[in-house]
Structure 1
């Protein structure tokens, strides 16, 4: 590789969000705004928030809270969209047939 060649790096929206959080002023002395703090504010587990941020959509109410309460730019978040729950697992459906 030549020294004058440009290197392009691709980072995910979740990585961009983490960078944005690191650049924000401390809301409380000695504490940074973290994904865990965001999950706590939404009333969900960190793993659930992480899954939301990896998906192309996020529940509308979570999107609104992240934008309004924390001022997170919309371009760092997945599209707000409420999706219906998925189909009932087949195993559970067969159990209910015998009841």
Structure 2
């Protein structure tokens, strides 16, 4: 997959949803209804960060290539070069996966 030619502004982040297979925890199959939220995504591009009241740039806490958990209904879905991505604010990211 080629990098899309887009640069998020401020504290916005471009992510691509990770397609999940059947999820198993300790040999138990988790039903689809339990997989609703949150979703796993890979960070594709990161904005420079937002400005504080003094005009100082606050860096974004996530980096390109990291896997994160996002709310299922967070952000805005966009299509770039035929691929579907989500643009969301840093506040919409729930956690970074190790």
TM-score by length of structure 2 reads 0.27
TM-score, L = length of structure 1:
0.27
Q: Which has the larger radius of gyration?
A: 1
More strand by share: 2
Larger helix proportion of the pair: 1
Relative contact order: is structure 1 or structure 2 higher (C-alpha 8 Å, sep ≥ 6)? Answer: 2
